Structures are given as C-alpha cells and as structure tokens.
C-alpha cells in the first residue's frame, strides 16, 4: 500500500480508452499475419478461406478473452464499471450500440467457454473461439473433422499467437491506479 504513491491515477474512462485503442490497433496491425498463419497452418488438410479483411471474428475473440480475464484483476465492482466503460468506448469506435457490441461479445464468449469445457483456461477457450468463428472444422483431416473438434496442435499454435493479444493487467496495475468516477473510490 505504501508504494502506491508513485502510481499515476487514471479514470475508468481513460483506462477503457487505452484498452480499446491498444486492442483495436494491435488486432488491425497483426490480423494479416494471423490470417496468413491460419491459412498456411500445417494442421489443415486444405487451407481455410480466410479473407484479410475479415478480422471481426478475431477481434471479438480477443475482446471476449480479455473481458473474461478482467475480474481477476479488479474487484469491488470496479471490474464491472470498467467493462461498461470499455463497451461504451467500443461502441463509439465501432459505431454500433453498446447493447449490440455487448451481446455479440457475450455470444462469442459463451461459445468459447462452452466448447472449452471442462477446462477454464481462457487462452484455450480463445483458440477454440478462432476455430469456431472461422468454421475451420471442414478444413481439418478426417479424424478431427469427424469428431468435430479442433486439432490440438492447431490449438497450441493459436494459444501462442493469442497470448500476445491479452492485456497485461499486472503490469498496468504496477504503473497505474484506476479511479472510479462515480464514488471517488479508487480500485
């Protein structure tokens, strides 16, 4: 507690803006490489047809995974306040209503979590989310295609990639302290 003096204080809206812009920029910059990696993956019988302009499912998986992680780093309601601020900022940037973006992210999150049961690992769920959102089952070898499950080697490859898209909240909290604007409480 004594070492919090040197931390820069940010309002939740500032944190949300940083998160949203960093996430959108990283997805936009990296998507052509990620799409190429998926298309050229040796774990498919035939290359998946993934357009370099089709980053939306990837973005939704990245957002769903990051929002799933958020409650592990913030407590006392500050996680929900930050999630709402993130959704508001996303809706502004993507020019859709907060309800639409929230519903779409939640839909992707539920599919990811459901397909990843019984594991609770977020990275694994995100890798399965890529598999589901891009309909990659038909591109796999017969064994995995008939089971309707992703090739474990493809999942490992995607986990390595997706790891780079998870926000490092531990480092963030070492440098910054988030202020909740509504009650003057800091989280």
**Residue 179 banded pLDDT, cuts 50, 70, 90:** confident
The model's pLDDT over 157-166, given as tens digits with 9 standing for 90+, comes to 999 999 999 9
The model's pLDDT over 127-142, given as tens digits with 9 standing for 90+, comes to 999 999 999 999 999 9
pLDDT attached to residue 181:
58
Quick check: is 167 in a domain? yes
Quick check: is 187 in a domain? no
Domain count, the chain: 1
| Residue, of 66 and 2, whose pLDDT is higher | 66
The answer, yes or no, to whether residue 121 has pLDDT greater than 80, is yes
Quick check: is 184 in a domain? no
The answer, yes or no, to whether residue 187 has pLDDT greater than 80, is no
The answer, yes or no, to whether residue 116 has pLDDT greater than 50, is yes
Out of 73-77, 143-147, 163-167, least confident range? 73-77
The model's pLDDT over 97-115, given as tens digits with 9 standing for 90+, comes to 999 999 999 999 999 999 9
pLDDT attached to residue 4:
54
Q: What whole-number percentage of the chain has pLDDT above 90?
A: 83
Strands 176-179, 8-11: pairing is: parallel
Q: Is the dihedral of CA 117, 120, 122, 123 positive or negative?
A: negative
| Residue, of 52 and 131, whose pLDDT is higher | 131
Quick check: is 1 in a domain? no
Print the domain residue range for 143.
Answer: 15-45+52-179
Quick check: is 74 in a domain? yes
Quick check: is 72 in a domain? yes
Q: What is the rounded average pLDDT for all residues in the chain? A: 92
pLDDT attached to residue 184:
44
> Do the beta carbons of residue 169 and residue 73 sit within 8 Å?
yes
Question: Which residue in 103, 121, 117, 114 sits closest to 166, CA to CA?
Answer: 121
Quick check: is 34 in a domain? yes
pLDDT attached to residue 185:
46
**Cβ count near 153 (within 10 Å):** 12
Question: Which residue in 88, 98, 62, 97 sits closest to 181, CA to CA?
Answer: 88
The answer, yes or no, to whether residue 61 has pLDDT greater than 70, is yes
Quick check: is 185 in a domain? no
The answer, yes or no, to whether residue 29 has pLDDT greater than 60, is yes
């Amino acid at each position: 507690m004594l070492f919090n003096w040197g931390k820069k204080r940010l309002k939740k809206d500032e944190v949300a803006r940083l998160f949203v812009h960093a996430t959108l920029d990283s997805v936009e910059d990296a998507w052509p490489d990620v799409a190429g990696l998926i298309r050229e993956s040796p774990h498919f019988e035939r290359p998946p047809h993934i357009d370099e302009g089709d980053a939306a499912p990837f973005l939704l998986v990245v957002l769903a995974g990051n929002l799933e992680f958020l409650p592990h780093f913030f407590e006392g309601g500050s996680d929900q306040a930050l999630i709402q601020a993130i959704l508001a900022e996303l809706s502004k940037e993507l020019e859709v209503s907060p309800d639409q973006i929230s519903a779409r992210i939640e839909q992707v999150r539920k599919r990811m979590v459901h397909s990843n049961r019984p594991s609770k690992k977020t990275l694994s769920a995100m890798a399965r989310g890529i598999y589901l959102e891009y309909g990659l089952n038909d591109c796999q070898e017969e064994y995995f295609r008939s089971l309707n499950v992703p090739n474990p080697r493809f999942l490992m490859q995607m986990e390595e990639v997706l790891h780079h898209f998870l926000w490092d909240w531990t480092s963030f909290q070492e440098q910054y302290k988030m202020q909740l604007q509504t009650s003057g409480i800091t989280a």
